[in-house]
Amino acid sequence: MTLAEFWFALIAVVWTGFFVLEGFDFGVGMLHPVVGADEAGRRTVINTIGPLWDGNEVWLIVAGAAMFAAFPGWYATMFSGFYLALVVLLIALIARGISFEYRGKHDGADWRRTWSGMLAGGSLVAPLLIGVALGDLLHGLPVNASHEYTGTFWTLLQPYGLYTGLTFVVISVTHGATFIALKTTGDVRDRAVRAASLSAPVTALVVIGFALWTHAIAGKGLLINPVEIIAIIAIIASAWLAHEQLEGWAFAATTLAMAMAVISIFSELYPKVMVSSTSHAYSLTIRNSASPSYSLKVMTIVVAIFLPVVLAYTAWTYYVFRRRLSDKDFRVPLTSAQHTK
């Protein structure tokens, strides 16, 4: 394996880590108005990811930075072509981020409803757009001989790209539901289990379609990629595990399904990094878009030192905040005057 190939694999791992960790964040954001049912329940659901969401979001920055440093040609073509979509993505992430901070600043029902809507909307738009972007890499976009994107914003909305975005949205919903069930007790947990049981079969059908379409787009023979087979098995298993209320195993299954869905795109994409629909000769590959060898060596040393530290810190954070939450923790106690009414 060359250093360029190593960095392609590492970028795939980082994108996988982002979707696995931020995926249940997105799911929680989309589900909190439904699973929460009342204000105490919604606060309970949001607080399951309160200490975690901003750390999980950092993986998106790391993925972009790794692409910029290891494959500047890929980064330049992709990010210039996706410029408007990235602006919309940033707006969604910003709206989602500030909703965590501002939702509890005022007790008015309309105020909380507005910020809850922004949280749910941003949590839906973000995985949809990122999924479209990753799907477009494999499907192909108009790129000329100079590796310049020649399409428009609407060119990005390919059927396969949109379906990939939908796939990540529905996996995030089921992933989030199993996470809420794992992190809560009482009525909130019961509603989360019900949400997971209802969403998992639908998600399984979507993932099966995604796996078959991904393999067909790649055009690498009749035998389906083992990664895609694992994704299908994992999401079907999550449907059964959610129904049996084995939320820990169900969450592990949705984690595996999400990871395999991301890896399937990169495994089918290899050795390309971005397919040109104009001509396959114009496609960006690991070889023609990578940084010089010296740069990759320095980056590899830095990663070898700091990545274990980041992973250890992330694991410690999840360990510290492992306690289950109850909506009773977030109910406002009645005053003596209210008790007499």
Instruction: Find the mean pLDDT for residues 284-301.
Output: 94
pLDDT of residue 1: 79
Mapping DSSP onto H, E and C, the string for 208-239 reads HHHHHHHHHHHCCCCCCCHHHHHHHHHHHHHH
Q: Is 2 helix (H, G, I), strand (E, B) or coil?
A: coil
Statement: residue 339 has pLDDT above 70: no
pLDDT of residue 222: 66
Instruction: Find the mean pLDDT for residues 108-113.
Output: 87
- Which residues have CB under 8 Å from 2's CB, separation 6+? 286
pLDDT of residue 333: 55
Q: Which fold has domain 14-328?
A: Formate dehydrogenase/DMSO reductase fold (1.20.1630)
pLDDT of residue 334: 41
pTM: 0.92
With cut-offs at 50, 70 and 90, classify the pLDDT of residue 275.
very high
pLDDT of residue 7: 96
- Which residues have CB under 8 Å from 151's CB, separation 6+? 81, 141, 142
76 HSE (CA, 13 A, CB side) = 13
Please answer whether residues 161 and 135 qualify as being in contact, where contact means their C-beta atoms are separated by less than 8 angstroms: yes
Statement: residue 245 has pLDDT above 90: no
In tens, the pLDDT along 8-53 reads: 999 999 999 999 999 999 999 999 999 988 888 999 999 999 888 8
**Whole-angstrom distance, CA of residue 291 vs CA of residue 5:** 11
Backbone angles phi, psi at 275, to 5 degrees: -85, 135
In tens, the pLDDT along 231-242 reads: 999 989 998 998
**Whole-angstrom distance, CA of residue 89 vs CA of residue 122:** 8
pLDDT of residue 75: 94
With cut-offs at 50, 70 and 90, classify the pLDDT of residue 336.
very low
Q: How far is CA 71 from its chain centroid?
A: 22
Proportion of the chain above pLDDT 70, given as a percent: 96
With cut-offs at 50, 70 and 90, classify the pLDDT of residue 332.
low
Measured over the CA atoms of residue 312, residue 316, residue 318 and residue 319, the dihedral's sign is positive
